[in-house]
Amino acid sequence: MKYLLHILFIIRYRLFFFCCCCLLFSSCNDEGYLYPINPRQEKDTQRIIIAYLAGDNSLSSEIEQKITALTAGFLSADYSQNRLFVYYDRRNVSPQLLEISAATENPRQVLKTYTTQNSASAEVMEQVLNDILKNYSAPSYGLILFSHGTAWLPAGGLEEPYDYRPGTRSVGTDGEDEMELADFASALPLPGNKKWDFILFEGCYMGSVEVAYELKDKTEAIIASPTEIVSPGMTEVYPSALPFLFQPTPELEKFAQAYFNAWDGKTGDYRSATISVVRTGHLEELALLARAAFLRWEPDAGTISALQCFNRNEWHLFFDLKEALLTANPALKTYVDGLWKNIVTYSAATPSFLPGLAYGFTIHTHSGLSCYVPQRDFLYVNQGYTQTTWCGTVYQ
């Protein structure tokens, strides 16, 4: 009898252990699995917009409000013909991929929960984009990128431009990790080698010609700021302005104007903003003009310091491109002016930028694109600059 009870106990124990293992493995398998919700054929979807919110950094506290704002904006657009996907990563929370949907009581539909990962890695970004693009398609695509940014600068170059050390150019940040500009561009392929209709950068300093030129074969247009973006950035305008991006022809200029108007209407230091819409179709021609202006230009420190700068540091790394071009070669004015209207289709700037804080500055000119002017002392930044496609085209 004791032997029989012993056998039964072993069987029950093994069954219990087997059930626990099944539950455990089932739970593990759910991690990172994609659940397509209400898939629609391409003909039923006008545009897909993907918001990539890399907030596992000091911007983490803004993520929830930003998702709420994006949701409100999408639900006030023609959501029957469009789709909005949101990937977010913030501190101490597993990254998730959502689809915003009006068809369910909770508009945030979780498509995938990821294990902890570096969202500033180009490989991770490419995987997230592929998770969407392999399951959903449309004739038109837009991308919103929210994170820290320092344009083309090598990692840490904004804080320490002098000494060379290995690094990457910063598009997005996850903890202390930063994404290289060229790697970011390589992570953006669309089906059939399509271009994105637009990339909206909600990150500081991304309105630079070096960034735009790197992405000219990836996107038709860019919305970005040559300066910092004051927190909470575009959160306040998404509810009313996001529908502009879902119009049959994206109304990028109206979105940019809505952002600018919101910040231009503030007072004190909060009245600080720059924004631009840059069309990429004529950037090759701009590079040829820049080469004619910059190739043999060796400005002294006084000439450089007189240029409009866009960063709040003791040293200046972002300058107004159009002013730099015409300072280097005033004879190009007619050509530059004629080309500019086809490239920068909207630009706006407040009269000053954070004037009450250290190194705040007056904005006497704002053409819509910044550029770097090489400076002899900045060995680290100069080394990073030579790796940009823009520098290779203009200076080499």
CB 184 within 8 A of CB 172: yes
Distance of alpha carbon 229 from alpha carbon 223, whole angstroms: 12
What are the tokens at 5? 């009870």
Per residue in 177-189, pLDDT tens?
A: 567 788 899 999 8
DSSP 19-77: HHHHHHHHHHHHTT-----S---GGG-SEEEEEEEEESSTTGGGHHHHHHHHHHHHHTS
Query: Would strands 177-178 and 173-174 be described as parallel, antiparallel, or unpaired?
Result: antiparallel
CB 89 within 8 A of CB 118: no
Per residue in 204-231, pLDDT tens?
A: 999 999 999 999 999 999 999 999 999 9
CATH class of 48-282+341-367: alpha beta
User: Within a 10 A sphere around the Cβ of 342, how many other Cβ atoms?
Assistant: 12
- pLDDT of 267: 98
The low-confidence residues of the chain, meaning pLDDT below 70, are 1-33, 35-43, 56, 164-178
% helix / strand / coil in the chain, to the nearest 5?
A: 40, 20, 40
Q: What is residue 265's three-state secondary structure?
A: coil
Query: Would strands 319-320 and 344-349 be described as parallel, antiparallel, or unpaired?
Result: unpaired
CB 224 within 8 A of CB 146: no
Distance of alpha carbon 170 from alpha carbon 281, whole angstroms: 24
- pLDDT of 178: 66
**Host H or E run for residue 276:** strand 274-279
CB 382 within 8 A of CB 393: no
pTM of the model: 0.89
Domain boundaries, the chain: 48-282+341-367
- Torsion over CA of 71, 76, 82 and 85, rounded to 10 degrees? -10
Q: How far is residue 30 from each of residues 26, 107, 111, measured CA to CA in Å?
A: 6, 21, 11
- pLDDT of 177: 54
- pLDDT of 396: 86
Q: Which residues contact 54 (CB under 8 A, 6 or more apart)?
A: 89, 119, 120, 145, 146, 147, 172, 173, 174
What are the tokens at 255? 């979105």
- pLDDT of 23: 37
